[in-house]
Structure 1
Amino acid sequence: MNKSNLIFFIVSLYTVITVSQKKDITLNDIWSGEFRTKSIDEIRWLNNDKEYTVLNWDPITKSSTVDLYDYNSNIKKKTIVRSSFLNIKPFSDYSFNKNEDKLVLTTEMESIYRRSSLAKYYIYDLNTLESTLVDDRKIQEPTFSPSGDALAYVCENNIYIKNLNTNVTIQITSDGEKNKIINGITDWVYEEEFEFVRAFEWNKTGTQLAYIKFDETNVPEFSMDVYGQDLYPKQQVFKYPKAGENNSIVSLYNYHISSKETSKINFPESPYYIPRIKFTEKENVLSVQTLNRHQNNLNLYFCDVEKNQVNLVLNEKDDAYIDITNNLTFLNDNSFLWTSEKDGYNHIYHYSKSVALKKQITKGNWEVTDFYGYNSKNETLYYQSTENGNINRNVYAINLKGKNKIRLTKKTGTNSATFSAGYTYFINKFSNATTPYIYTLNNTSKAEQIKELINNNQLLRKLESYHISNKEFSTINVNGNDLNMWMLKPVDFNEQKQYPVLMYQYSGPGSQEVVNRWHSANDYWYQLLAAKGYIIVCVDGRGTGFKGADFKKVTYKELGKYEVEDQIQAAKQLGMLSYVDKNRIGIWGWSFGGFMSSNCILKGNDIFKMAIAVAPVTSWRFYDTIYTERYMQTPQENPTGYDLNSPLNYADQLKGKFLLVHGSADDNVHVQNSMRLINQLVNHNKQFDWAIYPDKNHGIYGGNTRLQLYTKMTNFIEQSL
């Protein structure tokens, strides 16, 4: 053996030994939290622009604390409040009033739906060091008035205001009733799809309280059996408007604090949806956003609540739909910042107080993905965008004239920011596919890092003992479009061999799965599968987000058509790679992704050998109004769009192995979807596997549920692919 061959042999042997010494990730590792990352939880920046608070857990006293930290030193200065000292149960959240001399502490919280909850709340006075229970009952959304001397909240669908000086509580609505009238809290479909719960707002002086009333009397009811531990199951009944059915009738009211009078705000035409309300910098002027049922005609109104005058100040229309955001920001002169896709990409616009367009502040073939706020002292605004590639995120500053743009975050990957009250500092949360989360304190004006607050280097060191494959980012040209893709190959990948492929996707409108960020729990599962010899691939097809409005909205009125075509064609092209076994390609997804994987195994039955669908929509006729009609219009208007892309109508085409999974208490995508598909498959004598998780919601979690589910899916993949 010559010298060069000997060196090659030694290096190869060393590589084999090194690889063999490493461990495979196990399902127990993943779902026991072995790879959990450290983070900063529930941070609140104080008005002095020098300090911040964090919610912490003290394992010694088994109590929660709100602790005060200094920006520059990152040293804890003191504990503001400790649950055990107050003799109350540990709190899970907290919020300050404007003057920062009182806190609302959240205890005994129980979830209602995805974003809503009930809890006991205490007011803690930092001057007297005393705590007061807000209400003996569990309540929702307690919110300080701007002066901090009053607290508005909702209990049993009615709004209350507690005077914190006199400790007197008044009830300002009395018609609240379950499954009929809701005051100040959104109904199920608003909460889920417009993504907010609190439907009341204080004005800037605390003299007015505006609120939305939901009349859901004529909304059809949905019921679910809850099996529990009792002899007989119970039923959960709630209002759920499916596509084409009645929504809540919404109306807007204003309560005058001094006169204790309530007045209804009258619009030229009754709004179909009221997805946002917000008081402007003028104390009696309320901004109201309304949408038509198709969600392609957005109005912005200014309402003088004293005079009950309503003026239309801005209108946007779209051939498809308009997304609602939280980005409306009023400046001191009552001009405002607004984001819109009207030039084809999501950008920031500045309108004068007379609602004339002053400036399009950002512009380009990229998207503003988050808006952080405006600093009036230097007329600068802060945002996150895809300027550094649409799988990356960076944070920027730009002035009100659209000039002097500065990139505040330097690393390539996913950066997000939490700014201090005066925008002097920000905490950057950074990760990419090879770097777990790092939190750093940064000087905003200098765009410089001051210090690192938290890293996850310990996790990186732990992962060195495991078989870990690199996530490879690329694009694949499918149906005339360059689609973003990532691929995970086995550690011992050999181009001379052929491997089975498991494709994962979500594919919902505006979503993104191909992102340069740190691992989720599913990523570790993919590492486990890669160690077993599978290639894992994810492709973001047409209809997904952050590549412009046209790319996203091409699926309008035909959900499941172009997205499925792209996954099938991508699978065909992957099958042409020399190292892919084209006869062993599978696909899986959850929710919208389950809808997709169901369609793919049926419409692409000559391509996909197996599929897993978890909590899938099987017909958009079964899903809620706001989400579905935004993209599909109603079933009455667009029946073919609903039916031509429904898996229910292709059950006879099943050839491969199919696993169908659902939670019986899924309030979002009802188990009805899977039951209907099961019936269709049975009617066509198609063999498949299925699992129903009793009393589990859309997330299918709790106890060992995730471990059992992913064990089932892993076994199914190994047996089927």
Structure 2
Amino acid sequence: MTDAPSFPRMYARTLRFTLGTPRNLQVTPDGSRVLFVRTPSGTSRTGALWSYDVADGQERLIADPAQLLGDSGEELSAEERARRERSRETAGGIVGYTTDATASVAAFALSGAIWVAEVAGEGARRLPSNGPVIDPHIDPTGRTVAYANDGALRVIDVDGASDRALVEPDGDEVVWGQAEFVAAEEMERYRGFWWAPDGESLLVERYDNTPVPVWYVADPANPESEPVRHRYPAAGSTNADVSLWHITLDGTRRRLDWDDDAYPYLTRVGWSAFGGPLLQVMSRDQRAVQIRRFDVESGSTSLVRELHDDTWLDLFVGVPAYAPDGRLVTVEPSEDTNRVALDGEPISPVGLQVRRVLAIDDRGVLVTANDDPTELHLVRIGLDGSVNRLTAGGGVHNGSAAGATMVVVRSALDVGASSITVYREGAEIGQISNLAEDPGFRPNVSSVTVGDRDLHAAVLFPRDHVRGARRLPVLMDPYGGPHALRNVKSSRGFLLPQWLADQGFCVIVSDGRGTPGRGPAWDRSVRDNFVATLDDQVDALQGVAHAYPDDVDTGHVAITGWSFGGYLAGMAVLRRPDIFHTAVAGAPVTDQRLYDTFYTERYLGHPDEQPEVYDRNSLGELAGALERPLMIIHGMVDDNVVVAHSLRLSSALLAAGRPHEVLPLTGVTHMTPQETVAENLQLLQVEFIKRGLGIG
């Protein structure tokens, strides 16, 4: 008999128990179908394209990679792997798709090739494209597919005829039709081209990486391999030169004009049937935004709306865009609330924090939003200012809607796997199957609000813990950084914290200043001051200890985290050894000058203008203060938070004579999807923490 795999191994094997869950859900415009991607089981990483028929409730497989590829298996180009790294995509097979305007034909990339499928049929056909293919998009009329390849943008007819380059690189570092590094990594803009509604032309990004500093990412475990040459725009350095072009199918092209010296960041592009093409550009300090309309006939752009903020302006997915009546839809700060606005006039209510825009049609603006940052709901904001909350009850909701059909994905603390429910005219008509693995337990999460800033903290004890029976050592498990939440009402997000608690800890997961869902002032309170995020972790700990005085031992406190959470863990033992007694810092950003322009300069400004801010928010100068056990973990081929962060901190600690441990992960990027690595990593961290706290 084979022993059942451990929880850490299953957690990695199932990609945090997400495999088998339908995703990329899209309701077709007529409301007759729901399209989605799903793997065949909770352990398979190979996504397939499915359709749910609203009329009869049947699920139908449209395209299965196992059938399409046979025994040849999937092969990915280096460019596609990099693109997936930016979007944190760890699954395989079909991971995304696009459709024409009626959603009758779908196109997707698979193993470096373009495939198209009739949504009402079965199976798909491979187009004889010039691979390897990056990010194929079918045009709204369903006649042509555009795709990026080797720096060029190409098009091919859906019948496989006339594959040709619309535009090719005019320099060694020039790329057409793809998003540059900071756009994909930090702006949530993963695309580099956009079709016109009539399918006759496109807006296409061109970027030139020549100005960007060259870094090299090496794999020391394989010294025979050459280092990978990587253009990385570190804070204070030069970004890629980005421009936007209008290109017709006959190859005629025209550059769109704007003041790119004042507004170098191309943050959003859209072209819908409701109005002309829109582009949003941003100043380097991110305090000014222009929304401009492109006139196809004259080739000029005109200013539609301009925004300014003394600290920074946030970006929102789905906007700017036109409403069916021609008004401009944006999300803008007003009365300390991120609100839907029409032509600059806020229409969504004060206190309802809009997080992203999912769809805009004659019914209104479909958004995800929250009153409570631990929850997320679907809300439709009518073009008349009416508010229709489409989901209720504690939990995290997402979904898609078109016509009279809506699909809602709900995660909550009182359920295990997410439910995917289909509604027609507001009435539930069916469920789409979720094939995710059962972890075998449900997290036992207690929620408290603590401190003067009303911090939300989730508290997890071992499942066999009897309240008041003994005081447990504490393990703080934050991310803690801007624009990301850990403490939300979704049980899947607490599976690993519960397993950690079961190892004998009180685990605390708390979100502090800078995290989304509490309004612009809360977001901007970390400007020039990441140390505030550590203060909030201290306040959360003290608040939980006050709430559970007989269960929490503040004399034994550990902290662990990854990325910003790793930075926070390292900072905790360096700045507050009176509170934190041991730390595990995973892929930490230790030197803010080594992280990218768009993210770092938003929060800390330009390093040449305020170097003292960068010094204060980095860890190297604190090395001499280390007096607690610290383990630093880093993937050696991480091209986002490069391993230099950890190596420089380790060097500073060594120079100061401070003992510490460094765990290099060979062949690992910023993600750790390899299940054996992920499993042993968790076990080693727990062992280190217990040893550091002096407990068995």
**TM-score bin, normalised by smaller chain:** 0.7 to 0.9
The reply on whether 1:306 has 2:297 as its aligned counterpart is yes
In structure 2, relative to structure 1, the CA distance for the partners of 1:227 and 1:369 (3 Å cut) is same
- Amino acid paired to 1:635: P
Show the 5 A alignment for 1:120-199: 120-124=113-117, 131-164=125-158, 167-178=161-172, 180-199=173-192
Matched AA of 1:553: R
Cα deviation 1:504-525 (Å, max 9, x = unaligned): 11111132211111223xx333
Matches within 5 A, 1:280-679: 280-281=272-273, 285-328=276-319, 329-351=321-343, 357=344, 359-376=345-362, 379-387=363-371, 389-403=372-386, 405-419=387-401, 421-422=402-403, 424-443=404-423, 445-446=425-426, 448-454=427-433, 459=438, 462-463=440-441, 470-477=444-451, 480-490=452-462, 491-520=464-493, 523-558=494-529, 560-572=530-542, 574=544, 577-679=549-651
**Number of the residue aligned with 1:354:** none
What stretches of structure 1 of length at least 5 have no aligned partner? Answer: 1-22, 109-118, 352-356
CA shift at 1:67, angstroms?
A: 4.3
> With structure 1 as the length reference, what TM-score do the two structures score?
0.85
Cα 1:53–1:384 change in 2 (3 A) is closer
Listed one character per residue, the Cα deviations across residues 616-671 of structure 1 (whole Å, up to 9, x for unaligned) are 00011110001111111110011111101211111111111111100000000010
- Of 653, 663, 683 in structure 1, the residue corresponding to residue 655 of structure 2 is 683
What is the deviation of 1:193? Answer: 1.0
Provide the C-alpha distance between the structure 1 equivalents of 2:56 and 2:303, rounded to a whole number of angstroms: 49
Task: Name the CA shift for 1:630/1:134 in 2 (closer, same or farther; >3 Å).
Answer: farther
8 Å contact 2:65–2:94 — kept in the other structure? no
Where 1:600 maps in the other structure, the secondary structure is helix
For the residue of structure 1 that corresponds to 2:242, the secondary structure is strand
Displacement after TM superposition at 1:63 (Å): 9.4
Q: Residues 309 and 280 (structure 1 numbering): CA distance in 2 closer, same or farther, change over 3 Å?
A: farther
Paired residues of 1:156 and 1:177 also in contact (CA < 8 A): no
Which of the residues 201, 217, 228 maps onto 1:208?
201
Q: Within 2, Cα distance between the matches of 1:495 and 1:565?
A: 28
| SS in structure 1 of the partner of residue 365 of structure 2 | strand
Q: How far 1:262 sits from its partner (Å)?
A: 1.3
Q: Is the 8 A contact 2:294 2:301 kept in 1?
A: yes
The 3 A distance-change label for structure 1 pair 67 and 596 is closer
Residues 509, 553 of structure 1: 8 Å contact kept: no
Query: 1:124, CA displacement in angstroms?
Result: 4.3
TM-score, normalization: structure 2? 0.88
1:83-94 alignment runs, 5 A limit: 91-93=93-95, 94=97
Contact 1:469 1:530 in 2 (8 A): no
SS in 2 for 1:536: strand
Post-superposition offset of 1:251: 1.7
Paired residues of 1:280 and 1:334 also in contact (CA < 8 A): no
- With over 3 angstroms needed to count, the CA separation of the structure-2 counterparts of 1:211 and 1:568, relative to structure 1, is same
Give CA deviations for 1:141-161 in whole Å, capped at 9, x if unaligned: 221222222222111111122
Q: Cα offset for 1:100?
A: 4.4
Distance 2:265 2:311 in 1: 17
Q: For each residue in 1:96-121, what CA deviation from the matched residue of structure 2 results, as whole angstroms up to 9, or x when unmatched? A: 3335454324221xxxxxxxxxx221
* Contact 2:476–2:557 (8 Å) recurs in 1: yes
- Secondary structure, counterpart of 2:617 in structure 1: coil
Greater alpha carbon shift after TM alignment, 643-652 vs 565-574: 565-574
Query: Aligned partners of 1:164 and 1:27: how far apart in 2?
Result: 44
Instruction: Report if the CA contact (8 A) 1:427-1:442 is conserved.
Output: yes
Secondary structure of the residue aligned to 1:172 is strand
Letter paired with 1:528: W
* Structure 1 contact 122–134 (Cα < 8 Å) conserved: no
Structure-2 change in CA distance of 1:176 and 1:74 (3 Å): farther
Q: Greater CA deviation, 149-158 or 249-258?
A: 249-258
Q: Which amino acid aligns with 2:140?
A: P
Shift in Å, 1:555: 1.0
- Distance (Å, rounded) in 2 between the aligned partners of 1:579 and 1:68: 49
Q: Which amino acid aligns with 1:568?
A: V
Alpha carbons 2:63, 2:122 under 8 Å: kept: no
The one-letter amino acid of 1:543's match is: G
Give CA deviations for 1:503-557 in whole Å, capped at 9, x if unaligned. Answer: 111111132211111223xx33332332332111122122222111111101112
Alignment map for 1:220-231 (pairs within 5 Å): 220-227=213-220
Secondary structure of the 1:711 match is helix
Residues 269 and 395 of structure 1, relative CA distance in 2, 3 Å threshold: closer
Q: CA deviation at 1:346?
A: 1.0
Say which structure, 1 or 2, has more relative contact order (CA 8 Å, 6+ apart).
2
Residues 72/459 of structure 1: CA separation in 2 closer, same or farther (3 Å cut): farther
The Cα shift of 1:69 comes to 3.1
Cα pair 2:106 2:118 within 8 Å, conserved: yes
Offset of residue 401 of structure 1: 1.4
Structure 1 residue 282 displacement after superposition: 6.6
Please state whether the residue corresponding to 2:289 is helix, strand or coil.
strand
Q: Which sections of structure 2, spanning at least 5 residues, go unmatched? A: 75-92
> How has the CA–CA distance of structure 1 residues 603 and 50 changed in structure 2, closer, same or farther, with 3 Å as cutoff?
same
CA distance in 1, matches of 2:68, 2:668: 35
Specify whether residues 25 and 581 from structure 1 end up closer, same or farther in structure 2 by C-alpha distance, changes over 3 A only: farther
Q: Letter of the 1:50 partner, please give it.
A: S
**Matches of 1:430 and 1:400, distance apart in 2:** 26
Q: Which residue of 1 aligns with 2:88?
A: none
Deviation at 1:690, TM superposition (A): 1.4
**Contact 2:354–2:370 (Cα < 8 Å) also in 1:** yes
